[in-house]
């Protein structure tokens, strides 16, 4: 829950700062395009992060399925939604919309990956011994 709250808080704060800067530079048009790009990126990112964090209590296969499935769902919603909007209303959603979507999508994806990697359980096997057969591992006292 702490990881999800951190993700949500940081994304909302940075998104508000980016949209504020975009409004100062590009006016209401940039605010509209940027706000919709933020929503298309944030909503699936939050849902897939919650699903991945819940699935980490399960077996490793479930974790892998959650990570891969989350990536596919996020890509379908964000990029598919952007494609739909630019085709349905090309005069409103211009090339600038794709820049906003790219920045928000990649930024949230990178931040989510950093949080998920940090959330990984620690292993007790030293890195050099992880792939050695049991008979070849050096004996440790303790």
**What would the pLDDT profile of 4-55 be if each residue is shown by its tens digit?**
999 999 999 999 999 999 999 988 999 999 999 999 999 999 988 888 888 7
Residue 132, pLDDT > 90, answer no
Helices (H), the chain: 2-55, 60-88, 95-119
Domain residue extents for the chain: 2-120
Q: Check if the beta carbon of residue 19 is closer than 8 Å to that of residue 34.
A: yes
Cα separation, 72 vs 79, in Å, equals 10
Q: Residue 129's pLDDT band (boundaries 50, 70, 90)?
A: low
How far apart are the C-alpha atoms of 49 and 67, rounded to whole Å?
9
Annotate 55-76 with b (16+ C-beta within 10 A) or e (fewer): bbeeeeeebeebbeebbeebee
pTM of whole model > 0.95? no
Kindly tell me if the per-residue pLDDT of 128 is higher than 60.
no
């Amino acid at each position: 829950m702490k990881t999800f709250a951190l993700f949500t808080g940081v994304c909302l704060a940075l998104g508000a700062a980016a949209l504020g800067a975009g409004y100062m530079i590009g006016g209401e048009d940039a605010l509209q395009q940027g706000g919709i790009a933020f929503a298309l990126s944030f909503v699936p990112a939050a849902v897939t992060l919650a699903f991945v964090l819940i699935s980490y209590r399960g077996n490793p296969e479930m974790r892998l399925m959650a990570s891969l499935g989350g990536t596919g769902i996020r890509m379908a919603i964000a990029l598919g939604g952007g494609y739909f909007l630019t085709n349905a209303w090309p005069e409103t959603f211009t090339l600038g919309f794709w820049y906003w979507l790219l920045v928000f999508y990649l930024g949230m994806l990178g931040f989510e990956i950093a949080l998920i990697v940090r959330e990984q359980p620690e292993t007790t096997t030293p890195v050099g011994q992880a792939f050695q057969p049991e008979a070849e591992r050096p004996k440790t006292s303790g």
